Amino acid sequence: MKNGISLITPVSKDLLYTKIADAVSDYIKNNHLMPGDKLPSERELAASFQTSRHTVREALRVLENQGIISSQIGSGTYVAHVEEESSLYLESVKINYLEMLNIKTELEKYAISLAAERVAAKDLEELESLLGRIEDGSQRGVFESDTDKQFHYRLSELSGNKMLAQMIKKMIEAFDEYYSILPQSTQLCLRTVARHRELLDAISRKDTEAAAKACDEILLIDQTLIMENRGSRDRKMEEK
């Protein structure tokens, strides 16, 4: 491992934590670091990038979620795995969320059209169970985001197209992080619950047109969420 952090070039403040994640990933590759090699401390990285330790932690969390690094309390941050290529997740967080939302919706509509043709009774029971938990949560004013992800993951898997399902899953993961810190996310997400019921009912009837309509209505709610909170996410990422 090469010592020092001078090899990491400072980056601009536009979506800074994502650029820091990429820069640290490049640092690992360019210096041929191996699993077990230690990275510079948060304090050193913050000084190198001329930003807050909070922003550095967000960047490291992205890499840790991808399995590229691992953090050990009281010891530091270490390389866990060396990636040959940037993941879809790291690439997706750089683009316009409204654009990605439209792409995700179209992919999901296609996946659902495939799933509707091959869904079995046991699959519908599984989806019904997941949606039931979402609906129960909504009655308490709670949006069951983890269950919602499982619902959408399962729908994409039922398409029978593994690549399509993986692309949708990566986009859902990117949006999950995005939505988690938006101040109005819960109330707007709760508005999608009734549309999810319409979606599942349409799939049960193999009515792909009605299913697509339900997806479009969910899209409108998600677009509202992004538009009403545009800018708040980036400001939070820069807070110390």
Locate tokens 């109005």: which residue?
184
Shared domain for 178 and 63, answered yes or no, is no
User: What does the angle CA 84 – CA 90 – CA 91 come to, to the nearest 5 degrees?
Assistant: 95
What domain range includes position 31?
16-87
Shared domain for 111 and 59, answered yes or no, is no
Q: Half-sphere exposure of 201 toward its Cβ, with a 13 Å CA cutoff?
A: 9
- Give residue 87's pLDDT band: very low, low, confident or very high (50, 70, 90): very low
Shared domain for 226 and 131, answered yes or no, is yes
Shared domain for 22 and 56, answered yes or no, is yes
How many structural domains is the chain composed of? 2
Q: 69, 87, 105: which is the final residue of a domain?
A: 87
Q: Is the pLDDT of residue 234 over 60?
A: no
CATH, residue 66: 1.10.10.10
Q: Is the pLDDT of residue 7 over 90?
A: no
Residue 1 counted as domain residue: no
Average of pLDDT values for 27-55?
86
Shared domain for 113 and 210, answered yes or no, is yes
Q: Is the pLDDT of residue 229 over 70?
A: no
Shared domain for 225 and 153, answered yes or no, is yes
Shared domain for 63 and 159, answered yes or no, is no
Reported residue count of the chain is: 240
- Give residue 182's pLDDT band: very low, low, confident or very high (50, 70, 90): low
Residue 231 counted as domain residue: yes
Beta strands in 39-131 (DSSP E): 69-72, 76-79
Average of pLDDT values for 85-106?
65
CB 55 within 8 A of CB 10: no
- What's the Cα-to-Cα distance from 171 to each of 1, 43, 56, rounded to whole Å? 34, 31, 23
Residue 8 counted as domain residue: no
Per-residue model confidence (pLDDT) at position 33: 82
Residue 82 in tokens? 């060396």
Per-residue model confidence (pLDDT) at position 25: 86
| Poorest-pLDDT segment among 71-85, 100-114, 128-142, 143-157 | 71-85
CATH, residue 119: 1.20.120.530
Model confidence, pTM = 0.58
Shared domain for 125 and 230, answered yes or no, is yes
Shared domain for 174 and 74, answered yes or no, is no
Q: Is the pLDDT of residue 13 over 60?
A: no
Residue 115 counted as domain residue: yes
Q: Is the pLDDT of residue 94 over 50?
A: no
Q: 67, 87, 107: which is the final residue of a domain?
A: 87
CB 186 within 8 A of CB 169: no
- Measured distance CA(41)–CA(50) in Å, rounded: 14
